Amino acid sequence: MKTALITGITGQDGAYLADFLLKKGYMVHGVKRRSSLFNTDRIDNLYQDPHEKDIRFKLHYGDLSDSTNLIRIIQEVQPDEIYNLGAMSHVKVSFDTPEYTANADGIGTLRLLEAIRILGLEKKTRIYQASTSELYGLVQEVPQSERTPFYPRSPYAVAKLYAYWITVNYREAYGIYACNGILFNHESPLRGETFVTRKITRAVAKIAMGLQDKLYLGNLDAKRDWGHAKDYVEAMYLILQQERPEDFVIATGVTTTVRDFIKMSFAEVGIAIEFKGSGMDEKAYVVSCANPEYQVAKGTEVVAVDPQYFRPTEVELLIGDPTKSNTKLGWKPKYDLPALVKDMMDADVENFKKEKMLREAGYTIKNQFE
């Protein structure tokens, strides 16, 4: 039985990857942070009672900023594969917490690589680094491939640039099987609520049900190559199963504006919208509502721009070239963008049907912060 250690197991990708590896027969260990509230929502379905015999899923308290803790966990677990998914992963928030982001996202990767060396696991333990299309930043060429130069545009991306190169360096210097997956944006019903896609699908479901009036967003012109997280965790696994360690771009090859993602999400609940105006004054209005379940009047203003969501430096256009992963890994995504939007909208409509029932029964709803 192979043993995997996942940092960031409580996040979107960690949850899908843990499920995927358990189904492959792995023993899965995960690093979770101590939190004053439960932070295991996404993996509660995978819980195994530690009092039972032969459990294959175990969590350890830890943090990427704590070297001794990481060394101790890796010594205990003796993993065949480490998936380093832990990170302060929000680009906008990295401008508010740049030093912490550098520590967790940049030096955190170094700490794991050093732990492998210190414990003499160079020949045993393979490591996957969650690199990102944010490395490309300011457009140098499109589509972006493994050979495209990097130009990071946020403290998050700069920290991830360090992590990318330290992974390459430890591979070359010490012969560690260490790889970067340069993943373009991937989303799902488990996506964090403050990333743009999930913010949109949640708001659209709530607006349709009369639980929210309007959705405020930042840059509607940004273009992203959006895939489904379920497909992308399979690529992470494939990257660590190759004969030789290499870096791979994982993307769909299709790019879409935030504006079009909003239109597609409203269309899923039978609501047609149109955008009017430009820049800070751009707004979207309801043109028609074909679904008799929802009563959103024609002409209602449902989307507006709020400058607080703009970033000091933006990444305007991402579109990946997945040729290498298609050919060498044999990786092909099962979800296209319409299927992704449908999956997310179906899940959020279901979530807010429950919230509506609770509200109607007089309960107060929390989690209004964005």
Give catalytic residues, as residue numbers.
132, 134, 156
Torsion of CA 38, 354, 340, 205, to 10 degrees: -120
Give me the phi and psi of 32, to 5 degrees please: -120, 150
Helix, strand, or coil (residue 114): helix
Distance CA 292, CA 309 (A): 33
Binding to ligand NDP (CB under 6 A) within 324-353 occurs at none
CB of 15 or CB of 207, closer to ligand NDP: 15
The strand ranges marked E within 108-264 are 126-132, 178-183, 186-187, 215-217, 223-224, 227-228, 248-250, 256-257
CB of 186 or CB of 223, closer to ligand NDP: 186
Per the CB < 8 A criterion, the answer to whether 171 and 177 are in contact is: yes
| Residues of the shown chain interacting with ligand GDR in the complex, contacts defined by CB under 6 A | 89, 91-92, 132-134, 184-185, 194-196, 199, 217-219, 222, 224, 258, 309, 311, 314-315
What is the dihedral sign for C-alpha 317, 136, 322, 341?
negative
Question: Least distance from C-beta 248 to ligand GDR, angstroms?
Answer: 15
Q: Does 82 bind ligand NDP (CB under 6 A)?
A: no
Question: Least distance from C-beta 196 to ligand NDP, angstroms?
Answer: 11
For ligand NDP, the nearest residue by Cβ is 11
Question: Least distance from C-beta 360 to ligand NDP, angstroms?
Answer: 31
> How many chain residues are in contact with ligand NDP, going by CB under 6 A?
26
Q: Does 88 bind ligand NDP (CB under 6 A)?
A: yes
Pattern 153-192, ligand NDP, x by CB under 6 A: ------------------------------x-xx-----x
Chosen residue from 18, 27, 43, 63 binding ligand NDP by CB under 6 A? 63
Q: Does 94 bind ligand NDP (CB under 6 A)?
A: no
CB of 76 or CB of 301, closer to ligand NDP: 76
Question: Least distance from C-beta 200 to ligand GDR, angstroms?
Answer: 8
Distance CA 222, CA 210 (A): 28
Bridge partner residues of 288 (DSSP): 272
CB of 3 or CB of 212, closer to ligand GDR: 212
Q: Does 98 bind ligand NDP (CB under 6 A)?
A: no
Which residues fall within 8 angstroms of residue 112, CB to CB, at 6 or more apart? Answer: 7, 64, 70, 74, 82, 84, 127
- Residue 78's binding partner out of ligand GDR, ligand NDP, none, with CB under 5 to 8 Å set by partner kind: none
Chosen residue from 4, 5, 8, 252 binding ligand NDP by CB under 6 A? 8
**Which tokens hold the place of 166?**
């330290």
Question: Least distance from C-beta 264 to ligand GDR, angstroms?
Answer: 14
Piece of 10-18, 213-221, 317-325, 327-335 that binds ligand NDP (CB under 6 A): 10-18
Give the N- to C-terminal CA distance of the chain in Å, as an integer: 42
Question: Least distance from C-beta 318 to ligand GDR, angstroms?
Answer: 7
Distance CA 140, CA 148 (A): 7
Distance CA 286, CA 271 (A): 7
Q: Amino acid letter at 17?
A: L
Q: Does 69 bind ligand NDP (CB under 6 A)?
A: no
Q: Does 101 bind ligand NDP (CB under 6 A)?
A: no
Question: Least distance from C-beta 275 to ligand GDR, angstroms?
Answer: 14
**Which tokens hold the place of 104?**
């967790």
Distance CA 171, CA 131 (A): 15
- Residue 194's binding partner out of ligand NDP, ligand GDR, none, with CB under 5 to 8 Å set by partner kind: ligand GDR
Helix, strand, or coil (residue 187): strand
CB of 172 or CB of 306, closer to ligand GDR: 306
Chosen residue from 1, 25, 35, 279 binding ligand NDP by CB under 6 A? 35
b/e for 150-187, b at 16 or more Cβ within 10 A? bebbbbbbbbbbbbbbbbbebbeeeebbbbbbbbbbbb
